[in-house]
Amino acid sequence: MAEKQSLNTARKSIRCRAAVCRQAGEPLVIEEVIVAPPEPREVRIRIICTSLCHSDITFWKLKDPPGYFPRILGHEAIGVVESVGEDVDEVIEGDVVIPTFLSDCGECVDCRSKKSNICSKLPFKVSPWMHRYETSRFTDLKGETIYHFIYVSSFSEYTVVDIAHLTKVDPAVPPNRACLLSCGVSTGVGAAWRTANVEAGSTVAIFGLGAIGLAVAEGARLCGATRIIGVDVNPDKFEAGKKFGVTDFVNSVSCGNKPVSEVINEMTGGGADYCFECVGLASLVHEAFACSRQGWGKTIVVGVDKPGSQLNFSSYEVLHSGKTITGSLFGGLKAKSDIPILIKRYLDKELQLDEFVTHEVSFEDINKAFDLLIEGKSLRCVIWMDR
């Protein structure tokens, strides 16, 4: 069946449905678009399902660059290879693949090092183009260019992705679970496991209990953390947190005049071993740093604030505290080797994924997924392309 389809469509443009964002902050419009065939080192995939991450919302709202419109958003997905461009031997048509916003070229000094997942051959930026060529594969029916979003653009029945951004996965894994490993759950679990390397018996504080923060809790739980403190402004997230091993809750709205960091310092007798910022606010990075334990505390920045937002630390604050602060893109994971490990841990019933999926909608209802996440009602809403 897949072969028959490829005979029909390989090396040809495909006309299909996509949810296009025409203007910042406006509801997406499902329209027909033209998806060009893949260039060398690129792959065209049919999306099975996709889910909404808060980063889509951040760049959906952003009027100025790196906000570009019209654009096809979406970067958390799973799909099937429809056709491959020249010089692609890692996947063939019919393979099930997970796209990722971060590349894993496997060749550059950073990809070859165990210490980093930040590829220098195809460096990450919030780009509107395909990574290798700085061109788009999408046009609308009038011939106007439609921009890509962080090398994935999964809110389309078909999309083109560079091979460095694709991981082949076990086709047995349910797509509406595996798609979460394309961004959110991998990022959170990886931040605890790879970036922080949380040790058994440690105390962890997590700012923001969306899917990312709860996946940090899940990662910390798997690493054997004994105390996991969750901070949020939405009390509904506290109930969800229990499933992922959150042991203590702090509602930052009801802390009175006390900064949350002070509350956590008191609870822990001097700060947590690992503090994760999973909201995307510089002010919360300061709070997280302030309640990291002196001497060995690590602050991990996971949330994405507005472009240009600044952190301010006095040099004495850093010098006298002995604390570490680090960023974590995609949880410090190398997609091609680490996603299969997480899938295996899910299939072995160690890693929880099912609990993150709170809603599922058809492609026509994609704007509902936006409303649910903005209103704080969902963790992850899976969007099925063929329903």
Per CB under 6 A, does 285 bind ligand NAD? no
Region from 81-89, 113-121, 272-280, 340-348 binding ligand NAD, contact rule CB under 6 A: 272-280
Stretch that binds ligand NAD, among 120-128, 156-164, 263-271, 273-281 (CB under 6 A): 273-281
Strand order in the sheet with 274-277: 248-251, 227-232, 203-207, 274-277, 298-301, 324-327
Closest CA to 339 of 170, 220, 212, 161: 170
Question: Contact with ligand NAD (CB under 6 A): which of 58, 116, 139, 247?
Answer: 58
Q: How far apart are the first and last CA of the chain?
A: 20
CA atoms within 13 A on the CB side of 269: 2
299 binds ligand NAD (CB under 6 A): no
> What track of x and - describes contact with ligand NAD for positions 182 through 211 (by CB under 6 A)?
-xx--x-------------------xxxxx
For the bound state, the minimum distance from the C-beta of residue 322 to ligand NAD, rounded and expressed in Å, comes to 25
Contact 246, 228 (CB under 8 A): yes
Considering the complex, what minimum distance in angstroms separates the CB of residue 170 from ligand NAD? 23
* Number of Cβ atoms within 10 Å of the Cβ of 227: 18
Q: Is the peptide bond before 128 cis (omega within 30 degrees of 0)?
A: no
CA distance 299 to 224: 18
- Could you say whether residue 111 binds Zn ion (CB under 5 A)? yes
Residue 369 CB, shortest distance to ligand NAD, in Å, is 11
* Smaller CB separation from Zn ion, 183 or 246: 183
Site size toward Zn ion (CB under 5 A) is 8
Per CB under 6 A, does 53 bind ligand NAD? yes
Q: What gap in Å lies between CA 204 and CA 217, rounded to an integer?
A: 8
Strands (E), the chain: 14-20, 29-35, 42-51, 76-84, 96-99, 138-140, 145-146, 158-162, 166-168, 203-207, 227-232, 248-251, 274-277, 298-301, 324-327, 357-362, 380-384
178 binds Zn ion (CB under 5 A): no
Residue 368 found at the interface with Zn ion (CB under 5 A): no
Q: How many residues bind ligand NAD (CB under 6 A)?
A: 33
Shortest distance in whole angstroms from residue 380 CB to ligand NAD: 8
Instruction: Name which of 162, 151, 103 is nearest 336 in CA terms.
Output: 103
Using CB distances below 5 to 8 A depending on partner kind, what does residue 190 bind out of Zn ion, ligand NAD, none? none
Applying CB under 6 A, does 280 fall inside the site for ligand NAD?
yes
285 binds, among ligand NAD, Zn ion, none (CB under 5 to 8 A by kind): none
Site string for ligand NAD, 304-333 (x = CB under 6 A): x-----------------------xxx---
**Partner in contact with 278, chosen from ligand NAD, Zn ion, none, beta carbon below 5 to 8 Å by kind:** ligand NAD
Contact call for residue 105 and Zn ion (CB under 5 A): yes
Nearest partner of 90 among 336, 338, 333, judged by Cα: 336
| Chain contacts with ligand NAD (rule: CB under 6 A) | 53-55, 58, 183-184, 187, 207-213, 231-234, 237, 252, 278-281, 284, 302-304, 328-330, 373, 376
